[in-house]
Structures are given as structure tokens and as C-alpha cells.
């Protein structure tokens, strides 16, 4: 529905499309800062949804999301079940780089609790959205484009990964306890050849992309990955 104002584009969108993601993490200091093993990092994730099967509209990129962040990560001396734990504190921006009716963005500060033991990893990341000024009029370019985004994208994210032999299972879920909206995604990776691994995934809920933050959908995907979570 977000594309209804684009005549000719809306009617030719396909349900099947290609999606890719590139993520990177860059340490800002070579040595530890305060305790052994801690660090300050820059992170960046790019996700793109490509209408590669939409021949009538020249196969455009339907949506592209950009997510830069700055975070501090430190191990902590807590070892439940003989595992290792860490804390991260960060600030991030996420947007789709669009304007007017198609613009979506928000800024968050978050705390992340990490646990790992052997072939299992767990992450809990609650966040607080940084408020923006409301729009003074409908076409105001400086106001909040999506004031209700937390109602659908939630207040926290829970994820885990488990490696069994040469296979990896992962889960990521978001939830807003007030509205009971959120999402869940299950993934599974398996060996192909060389560094390439196969990837199967199913997503259900809100916020598969920024443009879809208030639209609930179910998506199935099959592709390749270069690196696993663990």
C-alpha cells in the first residue's frame, strides 16, 4: 500500500523478489580500553529488496535499509552454566533513505546482553527510541515519518543460534508487550561447497523491512550465506 501513489509501479510489483544483506563491524582501537577484551566499534548493515522478477518496471530495488551504529562491547565476569557473558551499549540509526510518503527512519539507544557456551549463543537487546518532533503539516520534511514504529517493531529483540555438526539453527524475535505486535524469524544454514553455505528462512510478523514496519506478512526465503552467526 505504501507504493499506491507511484502509478505504474504499484500494479507491477511481484510477490517473489531477491533480498541481500551486507554487515560489517570495525574496531576503533587496537587495544583494550578499560578491561581486557573490551572495545569500541562501528557497525553497518545494508539490506536491499530487489524486484528482480518485475520485468514491466525494469527490475528496481523496492526497498533499501541502512543501519549505522556505534557501540561499546565488554566481557563480564559472570559465567552461568560455565559459559561466557558480555554487555554492549550502543546507539544506532536505521532508515530507508527515502523522502515524503516513502520515508521511514528511527534512532535507538540499546543495551545488549550476550551469552555463549560452546556451540550455543544467546542475545537479548532491549532499546529506547529517541524521540523526534512531530510533523507540523502533512508534507513537513523534518517531522517524524513513523511515530508509531515502536508499536509494531517492538521494544526488544531476542536471538539465539545453535550449531550442530555442520549445520546452524538461528532465531530472532521482536515484541511490544503493550500492543502484542512483533515478529519471529527462523533460519537454517547448511554446507554447499567451499565457503558457500545454503540458507533457508521463514519470517512472520511486522517490520520485515522499514517500509513494511506496520504491515504483517509471512516470507519464505532460500539462498546462500558466506558467514554464520557462530
pLDDT band at 101 (very low <50, low <70, confident <90, very high): confident
List pLDDT tens digits, range 108-132: 999 999 999 999 999 999 999 999 9
CA distance 15 to 92: 30
Span 156-205, pLDDT tens digits: 999 999 999 999 999 999 999 999 999 999 999 999 998 899 999 999 99
Residue 131 CB contacts under 8 Å (≥ 6 apart), including other chains: none
Establish whether 180 is a catalytic residue.
no
Catalytic residue among 5, 58, 93, 180: 93
Average pLDDT over residues 26-45: 96
For the segment 37-56, the average pLDDT, to the nearest whole number, is 96
- Active-site residue flag, 165: no
- How far apart CA 51 and CA 66 sit, in angstroms, is 18
pLDDT of the residue at 1: 79
Are 127 and 156 within 8 A, CB to CB? yes
Q: Which of 5, 23, 79, 95 is catalytic?
A: 95
Residue 135's pLDDT is 86
Provide the whole-model pTM: 0.92
Amino acid at each position: 500500500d505504501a507504493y499506491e501513489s507511484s502509478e505504474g509501479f504499484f500494479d507491477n510489483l511481484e510477490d517473489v523478489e531477491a533480498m541481500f544483506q551486507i554487515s560489517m563491524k570495525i574496531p576503533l582501537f587496537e587495544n583494550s580500553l578499560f578491561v581486557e577484551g573490551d572495545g569500541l566499534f562501528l557497525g553497518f548493515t545494508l539490506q536491499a529488496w530487489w524486484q528482480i522478477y518485475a520485468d514491466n518496471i525494469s527490475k528496481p530495488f523496492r526497498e533499501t535499509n541502512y543501519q549505522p551504529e556505534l557501540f561499546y562491547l565488554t566481557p563480564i565476569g559472570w559465567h552461568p552454566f560455565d559459559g561466557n557473558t558480555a554487555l554492549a551499549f550502543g546507539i544506532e540509526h536505521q532508515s530507508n533513505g527515502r523522502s515524503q510518503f516513502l520515508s521511514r527512519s528511527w534512532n535507538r539507544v540499546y543495551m545488549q546482553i550476550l551469552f555463549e557456551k560452546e556451540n550455543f549463543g544467546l542475545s537479548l537487546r532491549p532499546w529506547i527510541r529517541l524521540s523526534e518532533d512531530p510533523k507540523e503539516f502533512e508534507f513537513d520534511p523534518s517531522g517524524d515519518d513513523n511515530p508509531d514504529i515502536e508499536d509494531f517493531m517492538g521494544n526488544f529483540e531476542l536471538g539465539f543460534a545453535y550449531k550442530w555438526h555442520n549445520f546452524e539453527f538461528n532465531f530472532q524475535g521482536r515484541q511490544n508487550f503493550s500492543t502484542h505486535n512483533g515478529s519471529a524469524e527462523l533460519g537454517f544454514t547448511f554446507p554447499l561447497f567451499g565457503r558457500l553455505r545454503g540458507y533457508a528462512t521463514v519470517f512472520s510478523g511486522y517490520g520485515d523491512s522499514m517500509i513494511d514496519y506496520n504491515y504483517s506478512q509471512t516470507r519464505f526465503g532460500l539462498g546462500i550465506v558466506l558467514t554464520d552467526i557462530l
